[in-house]
Structure 1
Amino acid sequence: MTDPAPFLLIEDAPSLQQLYQTILTLEGHQVHGAVTAADGWEAFRTTRHPVALLDLMLPDRDGLDLMADMLALAPETRVIVITANGSINKAVEAMRAGAHEFLVKPFDDKRLLAAVENARRAAPNLTRLPPAQVGPTGELIGESAVMERVYATIRSVAPSTATAFITGESGTGKELCAQAIHDLSGRAGGPFIALNCGAIPQDLLESEVFGHLKGSFTGAIADKPGAAAAADGGTLFLDEICEMDLALQAKMLRFLQTSTVQPVGATRPRKVDVRILCATNRDPQTEVRAGRFREDLYYRLHVVPIHMPPLRTRGEDVITIAETILARLNAEEGRNFAALAPGVRDRFRAHPWPGNVRQLINTLRNVVVLNDGPVVTEAMLPPDLIAEASPTSDAGPAARTAAALHSEDLIGRPLAEIEQIVIEATLARCNGSVPRASRKLEVSPSTLYRKLESWRQRRDAAE
């Protein structure tokens, strides 16, 4: 049966273009062919193909840059990248930037058709989600491109039994992400147990996870089931899992392999049915290399990675979140705030929010508790936020950045630090879109992705 929408094939070698197109056509697929990035982009802008096969080595443009533009225009497109054997690193980079799958030349007919079939089934233009499943999920708020990708991953992983490994800075909503996965899963009727491994002393953490029997240690005055047993039939969310010591990591690995728990002081293990979700604000691979996190446990847990983006890269989401929080706090505190003043909106957009959404909530709670409406003004903001404000409240992000670069505060700072300020401000103006920001800054999207990742790892390591 012919698909309702054609596929796009961008391959500069005429012989391979003809070969791939013939294989796909014989299987009943419609194919639009292009031999240059320019022709492929023009075809994609017109049709927005649900599946695209893209050679990364094109004569007129880098394939990664083209893919970034395609996904910025149509994030639902499933891109299969094609690369030569000597360019595996580029294929991996493409996967990190949003590619659905990659093929390494030479590949046979079966490999090509399998990749296309997987992409066809996943493409929403061909198998569309019900309208109720479009947009934000659970308690998560925002409609930026980076969050739409998070929502898509949550909906894909939720019905499965796979372990999700959630990363992100403190305050980005990792627990809300885990809760959303649980709520959309077949275990939604079961318990959701969240345990913060970094908030519990290490000598008590084993008991908190696996439980203990009365008298098993000093202070054990009664039996305690533990979080793993309490989550039986549901989901156990282990936050800040990289804070768990190595001895307990070994027991956690055994738990994952056997689905049994043995409380401290017990002689027999107990079978439980628990789905594990975990999160950390550290870089787990760095922790593995440093010997602080077991490699075998990492690979057992790191099945579906989900990265929660920092608030400063989410563009207008900061305003959407602020308005939603303001309405909630109004009800809680009996206030009558109805809006944010334009100057407050500008300050919120420009602020780096090192504490992310949690800091934004605390800021608004401070305003609501100490003031009354109907409009949140700049004078109501906490002193630390006012001190970091831009020169003029009605200036846009670009004007604030330009003013900052000419201020005394930045004179003498390292160029790398100034570069980060400019890039993050540009991303904010582009609503978090890396491809759009890269065009404004005249650099490739892959360069921005690498810089953002290096800054994230540096921040995680410093925490």
Structure 2
Amino acid sequence: MAIETEKLVYVVEDSVSSGALYCSYLEQAGYQTRHFTDGHSALLGIKEQVPDVLLQDVCLPDISGLEVMRFAKERSDIPVIIITANSSIEIAVDAMRLGGFDFIEKPFSKDRLMTSVKSACEQIRAEQTKQLNQPRSVASSGKPKTVRDHFVGDSVEMASVFQLLESAARSKASVFVTGESGTGKEVCAQALHNASARAAGPFIAINCAAIPSELFESEIFGHEKGAFSGAVSQRIGAAEQANGGTLFLDEICEMDLNLQAKLLRFLQTASFQRVGGQKLMHSDIRIVCATNRDPASDVAEGRFREDLYYRLNVIPVQLPPLRARGNDVVVLAQYFLREKSAANSKHFERFTPEAELIIKKYSWPGNIRELQNVLEKIVVLHDSDKVDESMLSSLNDNIIPLRNNNTVSSAAIDSRNNLQSPQSGIQGFQNIRPLWQIEKEAIESAIAQCDGNIPLAAACLGVSASTIYRKIKAWESGQH
């Protein structure tokens, strides 16, 4: 507690009584405080002395709380905790995207306030420790550890992802990761945790699609002995296990609506009860969630709570599919080849040029996970110093082979797409159908076979549901 007693917290709250109450809570815990009732006086106070933590109401009588936050951030990258009412949650979310540390909704409890301020101070200490140790880490490894070090590849498509994650790592803001299956959403969450001030804390991952609905609440919040049939002992839930760290909720859109309400309350209050328990528990966690569906569509269709979506989608991260990452696919393939070869005591070192070409041209509907599985199978079944074209025959059968400096052979087109070339004797090109029509028919057929279930159809086609929704909207508007 010795370090915390030295921390100076500015409380910017236009309500005299509320501000005084927050200050009294903080002073009881050993913090120094100053209370400002308007934005301009807060600006003067910050100019005079920058605090360690800023507790900032977004709605002030003179200027926006965001202006005060920006002013403080320009002078020192201090953690800013946003205070907001329900009517201004969107403003609070914007503040988080601008670099806010956390936001709490009125009315909030003393415990919720103290948990957030304590977490902010822990981040300060972690960053100070990191700075003290940085020269040693730079000397030993060449550079400090970052989010980027957890990924393989450096495509332009991933650059914005890295930048967003680096910014997110410095706050407690919830991160919502979207992308097709196999694009590395859990790797993204783990990288975010490891690069944050919570790296020393636990990283707990839960797959929401793999847990039966009747056991979900127990899995997240735990249960007491005898809480239900089969509860023969007390269970500590994921929210409690992740205290001081990160809770990763994969396939969040599969969560039952009833539990969504309880998760929302936990995010708002940082408190929960075990199933069958009476004691109110508190946990300081950072939430990272992920889905391969389109969460906005689920919200629009009533399958996902809108208020929870806004709570979780503070920092949205969209992971690109492997086919959109350019030469990263070859870099990843080389990385996995070395990894799988070493694990299986084999001698693979490289790919032939023909094999590399196949890897580049294959669409990889299963993304990085499919690439890993393909290479592991090759390493297990063969033993050589290189991967050649024959070892990738299963992929080669599903792409149009390239000939003569990347031109497509007409024979391949005839056999694979059942389209006749102009040289085959047909007058004109009337038998060649537009690609968008073929795509539209394929998507409509998949949706029909899946009884109208678009997410299921998307999974069968190897694309994201958001892609199908976007194409349907384009067709309805007359665009191709």
TM-score between both structures, scaled by the size of structure 1 = 0.60
The amino acid of 1:399's aligned partner reads T
Per the TM alignment, residue 138 of structure 1 is displaced from its structure 2 partner at its CA by 4.0
Q: Secondary structure at the match of 1:254?
A: helix
CA distance in 2 between partners of 1:144 and 1:256 (Å)? 35
Q: Give, in angstroms, the shift of residue 379 of structure 1.
A: 1.3
* Structure 1 equivalent of residue 397 of structure 2: 387
Q: Deviations over 1:33-84 (max 9, x none)?
A: xxxxxxxxxxxxxxxxxxxxxxxxxxxxxxxxxxxxxxxxxxxxxxxxxxxx
2:435 maps to what in 1?
A: 415
Find the aligned partners of 1:358 and 1:459 in 2 and give their Cα distance: 26
Q: Hey, what's the Cα distance between the residues in 2 that align with 1:234 and 1:227?
A: 11
Q: Equivalent residue for 1:399?
A: 407
- Specify whether residues 404 and 315 from structure 1 end up closer, same or farther in structure 2 by C-alpha distance, changes over 3 A only: farther
- Deviation, 1:419, is 8.3
Q: 1:460 to 1:308 in 2, by over 3 A?
A: farther
Task: After TM superposition, give the deviation of residue 206 of structure 1 in Å.
Answer: 1.2
CA distance in 2, matches of 1:229, 1:314: 37
Q: How does 1:136-285 map to 2 (within 5 A)?
A: 137-285=148-296
Q: Deviations over 1:162-196 (max 9, x none)?
A: 11110000000011111111111100000000101
Count, aligned residues: 300
Conservation of the 8 A alpha-carbon contact between 2:260 and 2:305: yes
2:339 pairs with 1:328: yes
Once residues 395 and 418 of structure 1 are traced to their aligned partners in structure 2, the CA distance between those partners, rounded to angstroms, is 27
Mapped partners of 1:309, 1:380: distance in 2: 27
- Regions of 4+ moved over 2 Å: 130-136, 389-392, 398-408, 410-415, 417-420, 451-461
Alignment CA distance shift 1:300-1:136 (3 Å): closer
CA distance in structure 2 between the aligned counterparts of 1:309 and 1:245, rounded to whole angstroms: 27
Q: 1:134 to 1:142 in 2, by over 3 A?
A: farther
Structure 2 counterpart of 1:409, one-letter code = N
SS of 1:198's partner is helix
What secondary structure does 2:172 align onto? coil
CA contact (8 A) 2:364 2:370 kept: yes
Question: What's the Cα RMSD here?
Answer: 2.9
Alpha-carbon distance in 1 for matches of 2:472, 2:348: 36
- Identity among equivalent pairs (%): 48
Cα displacement string for residues 125-160 of structure 1 (whole angstroms, at most 9, x for unaligned residues) = xxxxx9836997243211110111111111011011
- Residues 459 and 313 (structure 1 numbering): CA distance in 2 closer, same or farther, change over 3 Å? farther
**How many Å apart are 1:415 and its aligned residue?**
2.3
Residue pair 1:158, 1:184 contacting (<8 A) in 2 also: yes
Q: Cα gap change, 1:379/1:359 in structure 2, threshold over 3 Å: closer, same or farther? A: same
- Residues 294 and 465 in structure 2, CA contact (< 8 A), matched pair in contact too: no
What is the rounded CA distance, in whole Å, between the counterparts of 2:413 and 2:389 in structure 1?
23
Residues 323 and 264 (structure 1 numbering): CA distance in 2 closer, same or farther, change over 3 Å?
A: same
Deviation per CA, 1:399-424, whole angstroms, max 9, x where unpaired? Answer: 2498765654153665216789xxxx
Greater Rg by CA = 2
Partner of 2:467: 455
User: TM-score normalised to the size of structure 2?
Assistant: 0.58
Do 1:347 and 1:390's aligned partners in 2 also have CA atoms closer than 8 Å?
no
> Residues of 1 paired with 2:208 and 2:249: CA distance?
7
- In 1, distance between residues paired with 2:145 and 2:281? 40
More contact order relative to length (CA 8 Å, sep ≥ 6): 1
> Offset of 1:313 from its aligned partner?
0.5
Q: Per the alignment, in what secondary structure is the counterpart of residue 132 of structure 1?
A: coil
Aligned AA (1:388): N
Pick closer, same or farther for the CA change 1:242–1:453 going to 2, 3 Å: closer
Amino acid at match of 2:396: I
1:132 maps to what in 2?
143
- Kindly provide the amino acid, as one letter, of the partner of residue 258 in structure 2: A
